[in-house]
């Protein structure tokens, strides 16, 4: 049976399903025997229970799903003030009974009709953004943070066929941490490029991204690398995030084992280039899945640094819930191995509304107009799907 046949069948069945990008193509998970809706109270027992299950023979011996931004804050002792926005679950995980390996190209003819307004409304305009930017610049100068990410959100009214959107997105903007979830009352599609945690046995790695450059006809990967290397602001931002991710790994890894595996390389995407490093280390003995999640999440590259004080500054400023944005999607296997991304470049479709959240980093050398425009560049590949 071809990938197109599988996708047609799963779409017509109306069953919930998940598709996750793999090294060889895509993995489709479905026929869920359990669905866990996370709360600030049950998250501890949920994670600990997975680790106690010793079964590890089948490819479906795992839970797959996402942690939202709020629940990850709560997990490390940070309480968010009341915020506006969709009343969306704090996290959802599924226990699949079926895994299907799909081809590298997803071919699908949409079954459902898309109904939406292609005009997105932004929650923070350029003038409001500059006020927040100037406020955070003062916090940086006062030493309360070194780097902080200002999030903006694009919203519209919609009813979409998420599988159609996802397949088109994978043709135009494939990314290594792409995924989609379709359930009866919501969907998420994402072309996230950033891996936050990959754990296999006693080795763990993370791939921080800090540095964005808009593509043009005159640029290629070599020229983009030269730009990043010569740009003081981008270099500072990248170095700070790499140092913070090394620090996070050091909490759970054996002393001296944390190393930079790949330093400051460039990855190419539809509308932009990213500045990327890869860091890894050997885990200490008896480190639990909960220990790993609390040390690494939420991901520092989409928050700023230092993590805790910067999170507190962000949460006081932001009046609207991030929901899934800068949370993490992935899986935890019954043997303790896991893979999680950072949820960015994503569309949450819920209650006939779509929202796309993006953020850019502010350091002492930042320019408000540049950062505001960078947010738009990051959202553009997703908004283009609505044209």
Which residues does 184 contact at the CB level (< 8 Å), separation at least 6?
A: 14, 16
Nearest to 103 by CA among 1, 190, 3: 3
**Token representation of residue 91:** 């996290």
Phi, psi of 139 (to 5 degrees): -65, -35
Q: If we measure between CA atoms, which residue out of 168, 115, 176, 173 comes closest to residue 349?
A: 115
What does CATH list as the number for 3-386? 3.60.120.10
> Taking the CA atoms of the chain, what radius of gyration do you get in angstroms?
20
Would you kindly state where each structural domain of the chain is located, as residue ranges? 3-386
The Cβ-side half-sphere exposure at 162, using a 13 Å CA radius, reads: 28
Per-residue pLDDT of the chain (387 residues; tens, 9 = 90+): 888 888 989 988 889 999 999 988 999 999 999 999 999 999 999 999 987 766 667 899 999 999 999 999 999 999 898 888 788 999 999 999 999 999 888 988 887 777 777 789 999 999 999 999 999 999 999 999 998 999 999 999 988 999 999 999 999 888 999 999 999 999 999 999 999 999 999 999 999 988 888 888 899 999 999 999 999 888 888 998 899 999 999 999 999 999 999 999 999 888 889 999 999 999 999 999 999 999 999 998 888 889 999 999 999 999 899 999 999 999 999 999 999 999 999 999 999 999 999 998 888 888 999 999 989 988 998 999 998
Q: Give this prediction's pTM.
A: 0.94
Residue 278 in 3-state DSSP? strand
């Amino acid at each position: 049976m071809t990938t197109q046949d599988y996708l047609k069948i799963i779409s017509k069945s109306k069953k919930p399903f998940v598709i996750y990008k793999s090294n060889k193509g895509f993995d489709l998970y479905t026929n869920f025997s359990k669905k866990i809706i996370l709360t600030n109270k049950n998250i501890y027992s949920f994670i600990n229970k997975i680790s106690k299950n010793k079964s590890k023979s089948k490819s479906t011996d795992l839970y797959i799903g996402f942690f939202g931004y709020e629940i990850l804050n709560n997990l490390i002792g940070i309480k968010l003030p009341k915020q506006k926005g969709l009343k969306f679950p704090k996290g959802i995980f599924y226990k699949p009974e079926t895994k299907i390996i799909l081809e590298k190209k997803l071919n699908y003819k949409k079954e459902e009709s898309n109904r939406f307004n292609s005009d997105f409304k932004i929650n923070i305009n350029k003038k409001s953004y500059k006020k927040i930017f100037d406020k955070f610049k003062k916090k940086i100068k006062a030493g309360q943070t070194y780097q902080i990410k200002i999030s903006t959100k694009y919203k519209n009214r919609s009813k979409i066929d998420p599988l159609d959107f996802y397949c088109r997105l994978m043709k135009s903007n494939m990314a290594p941490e792409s995924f989609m979830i379709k359930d009866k009352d919501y969907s998420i599609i994402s072309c996230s490029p950033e891996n936050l945690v990959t754990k296999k046995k006693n080795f763990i790695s993370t791939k921080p991204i800090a540095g964005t450059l808009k593509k043009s006809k005159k640029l290629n990967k070599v020229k983009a690398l030269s730009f990043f290397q010569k740009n003081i602001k981008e270099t500072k931002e990248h170095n700070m995030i790499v140092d913070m991710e090394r620090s996070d790994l050091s909490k759970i890894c054996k002393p001296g084992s944390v190393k930079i595996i790949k330093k400051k390389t460039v990855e190419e995407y539809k509308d932009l280039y990213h500045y990327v490093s890869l860091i890894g280390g050997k885990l200490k003995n008896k480190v639990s899945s909960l220990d790993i999640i609390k040390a690494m999440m939420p991901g520092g590259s989409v928050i700023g640094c230092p993590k805790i004080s910067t999170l507190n500054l962000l949460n006081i400023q932001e009046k609207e819930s991030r929901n899934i944005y800068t949370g993490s999607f992935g899986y935890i296997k019954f043997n303790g191995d896991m893979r999680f991304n950072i949820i960015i470049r994503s569309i949450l479709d819920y209650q006939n509304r779509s929202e796309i959240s993006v953020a850019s980093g502010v350091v002492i050398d930042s320019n408000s107009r540049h950062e505001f425009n960078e947010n738009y560049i990051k959202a553009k590949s997703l908004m283009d799907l609505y044209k």
